[in-house]
Amino acid sequence: MATTDAATADLDTVADRHADLAVVNLLPDVHLVDAGYVSVGQVLAAADDHGVELVGPLPPDTSWQAGDEQAFDLTRFAIDYDAHHVVCPHGKVSRNWQPARSRDGLPVIRATFRQPDCRPCPDRSRCTRSEDNARHVTFLPRRQQQTQQRLRAEQATDAWRQRYALRCGVESLIAQASGAATSTKRATAAWPRPTCNTCSPRWRSTSSALTAGSPGSQRPEAGPPDSPG
């Protein structure tokens, strides 16, 4: 069990929970978590720092192109990290390669194409909704981008869904425990309750997700119930 400030994002608690488990030699081989605890950075950090495979639904690409099977989303572009350029589905090469930071402060790369290439393109409507500007794309550094693409592809398979279904057992367990706790509260509702002047609604407890791996690690973990484009 871990207590965190309510303003702390679930994602930001993962590293500390793994560090806590490492101290007592209870790290799992596989940690099944929900979407709130997953990012590409956390997946890589868990593997690099502790050898833990963090498994959970990675947020999807929310661009309009990704939601249209006929459109050109990022997967349709060839990213050349060595040459520092991006090639579009029609073979046009980007005019720049600009390292930048996302709104969350994470490293990203932005590439923009040339207006003379984009304006007359017969597939312009499949690529951008801008009437004048050229297409631009934003993506992660090489290792993070490759990991993101791999994880999203895996999540689309039945094998991944079956594996992640193990977490449903954890949710059921929590629901049953919550139900038992509610029944107990009802039975003792008339009992006098002690006052607590130090408790604050800004503090909450987080329970851990099911961990899988060695027999000794297959137990609820003391940490976040689960868990970053």
Question: Average pLDDT for consecutive 10-residue bins of the chain (229 residues)?
Answer: 77 89 93 92 95 94 95 97 98 97 92 97 96 96 97 95 84 66 46 33 35 42 40
User: In this predicted structure, what is the pLDDT of residue 113?
Assistant: 98
Residue 26: inside a domain: no
Residue 115 lies in a domain: yes
Q: Flag whether 127 is in a domain.
A: yes
The pLDDT value recorded for residue 211 is 43
Whether pTM > 0.75 for this model: the answer is no
* Tokens of residue 142, six digits: 């090489």
**pLDDT, position 172:** 66
Between CA 56 and CA 228 the distance in angstroms is 10
Determine contact, residues 98/74, Cβ cutoff 8 Å: no
- Of residues 68, 40, 65, 78, the one with CA closest to residue 154: 40
- Domain total in the chain: 1
Is 7 in contact with 202 (CB distance < 8 Å)?
A: yes
pLDDT at 200: 30
Asked if residue 194 belongs to a domain, the reply is: no
Q: Is 88 among the domain residues?
A: yes
Range of the domain at 135: 74-141
